[in-house]
Amino acid sequence: MALGTLDRTPPPFFKQGPSALSKLIIFSALALFLMVADSRFNIVQPVRATLATVLLPVQWLAMQPVRAGQGFLDYFTTLQRAQAQSELSVVKLASQASRSVQVEQLILENRRLRSLLELSERLKVSGVAAEVLYDAADPYTHKVIISKGMARGVTLGSPVIDEFGVLGQVTRVHPLVSEVTLIIDRDLAIPVLNVRTGLRSLAFGDASGGGGLELRFMGSNADMQSGDLLTTSGVDGVYPPGLPVARIDRIERRAESAFARIHCVPVALVSGVRHVMVLQPQSSQLPPRPAEPPLPASAKRGTRS
C-alpha cells in the first residue's frame, strides 16, 4: 500500500478543540463584559433575584442545624439571663419612677405648645420586624441578609434599626429577603447630630475595617468630646431624626492638619444581632415638592435673544 493513501488525521477521540488558553481568554472576556454590564445597566438583577428566591429553601435547610445548636445553647442560659434581667429591670423601674412623672408633664406641655403655635406633628414612622438570617458572603464588606423583602413592603434605601439604635440601610431587595449594609461599612454614610452641641456632621464607616465609624471633614477646633452621643439629624430624608447612631470614642487633633480624626463606636449591635426593625424612608411620607412657577414672558424673550 502506498504511503500517500494513508489518512494522517488523528481520530476524533484525540481531537481536543480550542486550546486551554483560548478558552481562558474567551471566558475572561465574557465575565468582564457581564460585570461591566451589570454595574452599568443592572441586567443581571432579575436573574439574581430569581436565584435568591429559588435558593431560599436550600439556605433555610442549611441553617436548621445551626439554629438547632443555638437553641440548645440558649436553653441552658435563658434562665440565668432572665433572672439577671429581672433584677436589673426592678432597679431601673425604681430609678425611673420619678422621671416618668416628669416625662408625662413634658409631653402634656409639648402638646399644648404645639397646639398654641399651630405646629404640625412629627411624621409617623412605620416599620416591619425582620430576622437576620446570615452574613453576606463578601468578606470585604459588612452586610447581612434579613428575612423580609419586597413581598412585605421593604423598599430600597429603608433604614434598619435594632433595640439600641441605627444598624444600617437596605441596599438590595429581593422578593423574600433583603440585603442590609451595616453602618460600619466603608461605603455607607449617615448624617448625624451631636446631642450636646447640636453640631451636624457626616459619619462614615471606618475605612481601616476596625468595626467603628469616623467623622470626616471636622475642624480641629470643633466642639467635640469623648462620650458625646450622635443621633440621626433627619436632613437626608431617609432616617427619622433622633435615632441613636454612635458615641465618640476618641479624637485625634494634629497640628499639621486642619481636620481632626474623630473615631466613634456604634450604639447598635453590629455583630450578633438577631432581630431588627425595617422602617419606611422618611422621604416616602413627605409631601411632594411644589412645582416651580413659570418664567415671565419678558424673561423668556430675554433668554431667546
What pLDDT sits at residue 131?
A: 92
- Of 90, 118, 146, the residue that ends a domain is 118
CATH number of the structural domain spanning residue 201: 2.40.10.340
**Pick from 118, 136, 167: which residue ends a domain?**
118
Q: What pLDDT is recorded for position 302?
A: 52
Alpha-carbon span 54 to 46, nearest angstrom = 12
Task: Tell me, yes or no, whether 5 lies in a domain.
Answer: no
134 and 197 in a single domain? The answer is: yes
d(CA 140, CA 144): 13
Domain-located, residue 292: no
Beta bridge partners of 128: 278
- Establish if 2 belongs to a structural domain: no
Give the three-state DSSP class for 173. strand
Yes or no: say if 236 and 249 are a contact pair by the CB < 8 Å rule.
no
- Given this model, what pLDDT does residue 185 score? 92
Residues 132 and 275 reside in one and the same domain: yes
Task: Give the predicted TM-score (pTM) of the model.
Answer: 0.60
Q: What is the pLDDT of residue 77?
A: 79
Residues 102 and 176 in one domain: no
Instruction: Give the per-residue pLDDT at 119.
Output: 46
Q: What is the model's pLDDT at position 193? A: 93
Q: Which of 209, 176, 183, 149 is nearest to 54 (CA)?
A: 176
Q: State which of 51, 83, 118 marks the end of a domain.
A: 118
- Can you give the residue range of the structural domain that contains 172? 126-284
Confirm whether 1 is domain-assigned.
no
Structural domains in the chain (count): 2
Same domain, 142 and 245: yes
Which parts of the chain register pLDDT below 70?
A: 1-17, 98, 114-124, 284-292, 295-305
Residue 152 covered by a domain: yes
